[in-house]
Chains A and B, each alone.
Chain A
Amino acid sequence: DAGITQSPRYKITETGRQVTLMCHQTWSHSYMFWYRQDLGHGLRLIYYSAAADITDKGEVPDGYVVSRSKTENFPLTLESATRSQTSVYFCASSVSFTSTEQFFGPGTRLTVL
């Protein structure tokens, strides 16, 4: 079941570097999401996208940039990584934003030194 994949699965980078996390889904779901998961906070929504070329901020968007040129891809870029962005990042997709199931990727563990 490789409907939604993330790459890389693990990444170590240094403060100030640009990092891009990739997310790809094969279901043609309209909505895609990026979350970060930190101890004690659960998952927090960073950005979401309702369709190609339509993106919007979630709860914690600062320091992140997204794009969605194709329905199936939703990359997340940290333009200048900071230690506070060390986290596990999850991508998800769904048919719609509400009342439907979100399908999650396996996660990317990012460490910023």
Chain B
Amino acid sequence: GESVGLHLPTLSVQEGDNSIINCAYSNSASDYFIWYKQESGKGPQFIIDIRSNMDKRQGQRVTVLLNKTVKHLSLQIAATQPGDSAVYFCAEGEAGTYKYIFGTGTRLKVLA
């Protein structure tokens, strides 16, 4: 499949370490935020979401933090594994609209 994110910011982490991927979103009226994982040749895959009335949400090995004051979103991955290697995108949506706005993406490389 084709490569996704040839010139994206890259985060390299050692296998077993924790990863933190950051995203600055654009619309202060956004109500809903999602993190996606995209592997080469595939469509984005949902990881975790959070609504604007929350500032933290945890899933399995992942945590999303939302700071509405500075319009910042982060994704924390615990005990990063080789299968976590991919490009990660944040996306934002606003109630009453139909558009999801995606960020530019970060490539995560897991080093063995």
On whether the two chains bind one another, the answer is no
